Each structure stands twice: as C-alpha cells, then as structure tokens.
Structure 1
C-alpha cells in the first residue's frame, strides 16, 4: 500500500504543482475582454479543474484497496515510452526552425511509422499537418510557428 501511495504521489504531485503555478500566473492575464472571455479565462478554469483532478488522483491512489501493483513500464514498453518522449522533445526543438507543418509532419511520421506503410504514413502525416495549420490559421486565426517559406 505504501509503495502505491508513493507512485500516486510522485505522479500526481508534479501535476498539482504545475496546475497551481498556471492558475496563479493566469491571473496576470485579463479574465474578461471587451467582447467576452479574456486571455486568462481558459487558463484559470482549466488549471483549476486540473488542480481538482490531480487531488482526486492522489486521494484515489491513497485509498485504493486493490492488491495489484501498478509499476513503471519495463522492457519493450519502456522503450516505447522513451521513444514517444524523444519524439516530443525533437518536435519542441525543431518547431522554431522548421515551422509547424514540417515539424508536425515529422513528428507524426515518426510516431506512426510502425502502424502504416511508409507512403500511407507520409500522406497521413503531411495531410494532418496541413489541415491543422489551415484550421488554426484560417478558421481560428491563431498564429503558428512558420519557416522561411511561410509554412
């Protein structure tokens, strides 16, 4: 029971602390704008909900009576988790240089390379990246990072 509580605490506490920090910093942004919700509206609510959920998560781990131990991934599963984390880190590093479309296409291609044949994977990755770029830029008027070619 003690080991499971530690696992729940170690995974829930960082999320809780991060949420409290975001909640606190979101009050630096205007909560209401001239027409409706301001830039601080969603961060306040989302981080507040995340604070509550992380507390529930830690309490659930503390009160869990299940004897089945939940453990860290090992072997192949650990390799998969580390591969995904590596892809995320690569995405964060290259997005400012290559822009959203190329970076997200590379990211998706690397994540899906085992699931589909390479040509289908390429179509899915590039198509999804272009669609998301169009969606955010045109319909939502959100600026995404671009490369020197504007995409």
Structure 2
C-alpha cells in the first residue's frame, strides 16, 4: 500500500475505533443530561464513517508518500518546528514555562524578524500565555525557582 491517503484513512479508522471502544465504557446519559460518553461515542462514529468514505476516495486519487514529504526549505522548516517543540517539552519542567516558551518561540521567529524584535516577541508571547493560563484559567504551569 503506497498510497499515503489510504494509510491516513486506515490510521484514522483505527484511532476512531479505539475512541469508540473506550466511549462504550462510559455513561451516555446521567441525571444532569448528557454523560461523559455521549460526545466521544458520536464523534468517533462520525469519524469512522468519514474515514471509510475517505478510504474509498483515496482509491481514485492516489498520492504517494514521497510526494507528501516536504523537500529542501520545507523540510528544514518542518525540522525546526520539531526542534522547537522538543526544546519546550524537554526544558519546561526544568527552567519553567516562560523561559522554555521564550526559547521555543525565538527558534520559530528569529529568521523572520531582527534579533531584538524576535526576543521581545518571544518574551511577550510567553508572558501573555503564562498569564492567560495561570491567572485567567487557573491552570498550573511549570515554573522555575523564581516562580516563572
């Protein structure tokens, strides 16, 4: 099976079936109305139907996996995004959300802006997200010894 669309449809079909199976163990309805299994059940059922439809569509429109993969500049951009995400995940617990976020955002924007603008933008975005999650949404985020 060299058709990338067929692979994507099969993976989505398996994922949807797993979600459906998990949702069957939850209540669909409770005293307050919809239960925790209601949306996962119906959404996974819809995803199964769409996956099967997409599988049939990919039989006509063949896309090879080699055609889908990025090349040259696109590949470099893709790898840079992966590196930035890895830096954030590997450093957030150690140096805190703001520092890890600043480094990760800087890696993504330093080529598009001057260094000063990129640093300011990175710090600003990290601070904004930190305060939105911590203050407005009360979501605990990893912090360093300074509390940020």
TM (norm. structure 2) is 0.70
Structure 1: state its 5+ residue gaps.
Answer: none
Aligned pairs for 1:101-116 (under 5 A) are 101-116=98-113
Structure 2: state its 5+ residue gaps.
Answer: none
Q: Aligned equivalents of 1:20 and 1:95: distance in 2?
A: 33
Given the superposition, is the C-alpha separation of residues 117 and 49 from structure 1 closer, same or farther in structure 2, using an over 3 Å criterion?
farther
Bigger shift: 78-87 or 113-122? Answer: 78-87
Retained in 1: the 8 A contact 2:80–2:107? no
TM (norm. structure 1) is 0.69
Return the offset for 1:63.
Answer: 3.9
Given the superposition, is the C-alpha separation of residues 122 and 28 from structure 1 closer, same or farther in structure 2, using an over 3 Å criterion?
farther
Return the offset for 1:81.
Answer: 1.3
Aligned pairs for 1:26-45 (under 5 A) are 44=40
Given the superposition, is the C-alpha separation of residues 37 and 90 from structure 1 closer, same or farther in structure 2, using an over 3 Å criterion?
farther
- Structure with higher Rg: it is 2
Match of 1:120 in 2: 117
Q: How many residue pairs were aligned? A: 145
Q: Aligned equivalents of 1:141 and 1:102: distance in 2?
A: 19
Retained in 1: the 8 A contact 2:4–2:62? no
